[in-house]
Amino acid sequence: MSEKGFDDIPGTILFDAERSRQGYHLNMFCMSLMSEKNREAFRDDERAYLTRFPMTAEQAQSVLDRDWNRMLELGGNIYYTSKLAACDGLSFQNIAALMTGSTQEDYAKMMLAGGRPPEGNRSKSEWERG
Amino acid sequence: MAELIAGVATSHVPAIGAAIDLGKTGEPYWQPLFQGFEPSKKWIAELKPDVVILVYNDHASAFSLEVIPTFALGCAAEFPPADEGWGARPVPVVKGHPELAWHMAQSLILDEFDMTIVNKMEVDHGLTVPLSLMFGQPAEWPVQVIPLCVNVVQYPPPTGHRCYMLGKAIRKAVESFDRNLRVVIFGTGGMSHQLQGPRAGLINRAFDTDFLDKFTTEPQSLVRLPHLDYVREAGSEGIEMVMWLIMRGALADDAKEVYRFYHVPASNTAVGHLILENPGLPQRRLAATHEITSRPDVDAHEEVVNHVVAQ
């Protein structure tokens, strides 16, 4: 149901109804990491902890792999996955750098220089030409 | 009668809260940002409002995917800071104003805005970072706060127009409350930023500048901006800017901009900040509206880069 215009924005996933339904349990797992008790249980045995949430095997694997983009593709939302990042001691900027495939240094420099410009980043066609 | 006297727009980046809590505000990376809020802190300390209506979005803290209210009004007597995954921020518990909040809820619902009434809610960085930016680190917040939480995480958020009209209804609600209270409304979030995926780090200074330029004098030209434009031009999280339009709608058409600040970056985000005053306030002008830009001289800031990476 996502709208065509949004689909054309490169490197961006709209958290719409479809994603929300797909990612419900993945996101609710992330939500559970708001309590220290749960964070400890997760750190103790990640695989065992994940079985508390009826997510797909693919979703669970993306968590174990800390594959931040894959989690979003499978219905994760950044405000939820950031709780997993926080549990790992990573900031929003740390995982942003990881999702862009950049080093932390290069990403930080890009931000200090004014960020990623909109020019060349509005349409998938611009990335394909890339 | 209660009176809505002014509005504040500001970003609510979590890293700003962390910088304050960890005593890093004087570091080279952060110093220009906090300097930009110094006039604002003086302004609000002199204004001494009784109540702040704080429009923000919850970032999967009080609400999860279990319940997703589009507009939720905090009617409780107090709101504790949330543990967002790294422990709760060491800031005072936020005290509400249940009488005014309940009055607003009734007035807004009868005005056809179907608010969700919340009597128990933790508040995350979306609410506490703007308080820290404006009030610093007091032992107790010097105002009572009514949280107004807007869904901008699950698509679709409310439209800009709906937000603007809600603002107008809020003004009517406040000004029909039979107590002498001076009320300021904060609209928070934005400006351009994208936290997710391969396009993370997007900043659109031209879009932000245009938004700031039109916000006070031509809000009508912003209220029909489609969500698609926000997401494409200002990043997937830039859509938070619809919340600023609630603040704008709540102020008079001829409200005046008395302060502006814009700074890139705070973590992944372009920080925008405006102060608007309604007519009728004694003329209290801040130092000339000014703006600090991103620092192009990256080489001179290796120290800053290293600091960021080490965080």
Convert the pLDDT of each residue in B96-106 to its tens digit.
999 999 999 99
pLDDT band, very low/low/confident/very high, at B87 (cuts 50, 70, 90): confident
What CATH number does residue A14 fall under? 1.10.700.10
Residue A130 at interface with chain B, using a CB cutoff of 8 Å? no
Residue A69 at interface with chain B, using a CB cutoff of 8 Å? yes
* Assigned token pair, B125: 């960085």
Among residues B302, B227, B16, B239, the alpha carbon closest in space to that of A92 is found at: B16
For residue A101, give the chain B residue with the closest CA: B198
Residue type, B218: E
Spatial separation of the C-alpha atoms in residues B39 and B37, rounded to whole Å: 6
* Assigned token pair, B104: 């607003």
Contacts of A6 in chain B (CB under 8 A): 228, 231
> Dmax over Cα atoms in chain B, in whole Å?
58
Convert the pLDDT of each residue in A2-52 to its tens digit.
567 999 999 999 999 999 999 999 999 999 999 999 999 999 999 999 999
Q: What is the CATH number of domain B3-310?
A: 3.40.830.10
Burial class (CB in 10 A: 0-12, 13-18, 19+), B6: buried
Residue A125 at interface with chain B, using a CB cutoff of 8 Å? no
Nearest 10 degrees: Cα torsion A41, A43, A48, A51: 80
Name the residue ranges covered by the structural domains of chain B. 3-310
Spatial separation of the C-alpha atoms in residues B224 and B162, rounded to whole Å: 9
Interface test with B, best of A37, A78, A119, A125 (most B CBs within 10 A): A78
Q: How many domains does chain A have?
A: 1
Contacts of B123 in chain A (CB under 8 A): none
Residue A70, pLDDT above cutoff 50: yes
B127-141, B256-270, B295-309: the lowest-pLDDT one: B295-309
Burial class (CB in 10 A: 0-12, 13-18, 19+), B289: middle
What residues make up the domain containing A84? 4-129
Contacts of B264 in chain A (CB under 8 A): 111, 114-115
* Assigned token pair, B158: 């409310």
Of B84, B198, B264, the CB nearest to A34: B84
